[in-house]
Homo-oligomer: A and B are copies of this chain.
Amino acid sequence: MSLVVVGSVAYDGVETPHGRVERMLGGSCTYAALAASFFAEVGIVAVVGEDFDQADYDLLASRSIDLAGLERVPGKTFYWSGVYSPDMNDRTTLRTDLNVFAGFNPKLPERYRGQSYLLLGNIQPGLQRAVRAQMLAPKLVGGDTMNYWIRETREELLETLQDWDFLLINDSEARQLSGHHNLKRAAQAIFRMGPRTLVIKRGEHGAILFRPEGHFIVPGYLLEDVFDPTGAGDAFAGGFFGYLAGLGLDLQDESADPKELRRAVIYGSVMGSFCCERFGVDRFRTLTRAEIDARYNEFRQFTEF
C-alpha cells in the first residue's frame, strides 16, 4: 500500500433527471479510494455504523483496498440525500444525518503511518491536520475542503493548509478562500497559504492545474449522458492522486517530469467522467484499466492541435 485516503464513507440518497436511488454507498473517501485503486495500493481511514453492509465491504475489498482503518462503531452510518437540478449543475441537500461521522476521530493503523501519499477528503480541517500529524514522513500530502470550512473555520483551515503540497477545490471555493474572483490571482494567493500545486475543478468545464511555473487547462469530457454527478469531484481526486502515487512521483525531486502532474489531471478527469455514467459508485464495479487508458487517449485526441 502506498496511498492513504481519509474522508467519509456514507450512504447517499440521490435523485437526478435519470432516476432516484434511496440508499447507496457513497462518501468522499469511498469515491476517492475506488478511483485511486486503479492506479495504486490504497488504504482508507473512515468510520461506519453497525448498518454498514457486508456487500459494501466486499466491493472495497474487491478493489484490494486496505480496510484496516475503516472503523465500525455503534450507531448508523453517515447519511446524505439530495436532488439535482434538471441540467445537473446544481443540487439541493434534502437530508444530512451525520450519525457516527459526528464522532469521527481518525486514527491511522500502524502500517499506514510510514506511507508516502496522503489524500485528505473534505472533513473538518482540524481532523485533517491531526491525520497529517500521524504520518511519519509523507512525500505528498493534499486534499479537498469546502465552503463551510472556508467560512466557519478559516483560521484552522489556513493552519492546516500550511503543510499541504496540493489543494483540490472547485472554482467558487478557490474564489472564496483567496478573496480573488480571477482564478490566476486566486492561485497566487493560495500558493502563499502553503500548497504549491492547486487543482481547480470546474465540473463539466474540466479542470485547471496551477503551479508557480505555469498552468495547465483541460476541458471536460463530453459525456453522452450524465446519470449522476455525485462523487465525481472525489473520483477526480482519487484518479489524480492515485496516478501520482502509482508512479511514486516526488515533487521535491528536481528530475521528476513536470508533465506527470498534467497527466495526473487527465487521469482525474477520466475517473470523474466515468463516475457520472452510472448512479453512485456503480461504474467502478465494472471499470477496467483498459477503458481508463482508452479514455485518456480520447482526451489527447480531442485536445491536440
Contacts and interface: CB of A to CB of B under 8 A. Distances in A.
A216 interface: yes
Contacts of A305: 216, 218, 259, 262-263, 265-266, 300
B184 A222 contact: yes
A260 to B, nearest CB: 9
A170 to B, nearest CB: 14
A302 B266 contact: no
Contact of A222 (B215, B219, B223): B215
A182 interface: yes
A183 interface: yes
Interface size of A as a range? 20 to 34
A224 interface: yes
A92 interface: no
B262 A214 contact: no
Interface of A: 87, 181-185, 202, 205-206, 208, 214-220, 222-225, 259, 262-263, 265-266, 300-305
Given A217-B222, A265-B305, A300-B305, 11 more contacts: A205-B205, A208-B219, A214-B302, A217-B219, A217-B220, A217-B302, A218-B303, A262-B304, A262-B305, A266-B305, A303-B303
Complex A-B, nearest 9 residue pairs according to Cβ-Cβ distance, in ascending order: A262-B305, A217-B219, A205-B205, A219-B219, A184-B222, A217-B302, A263-B305, A303-B303, A216-B302
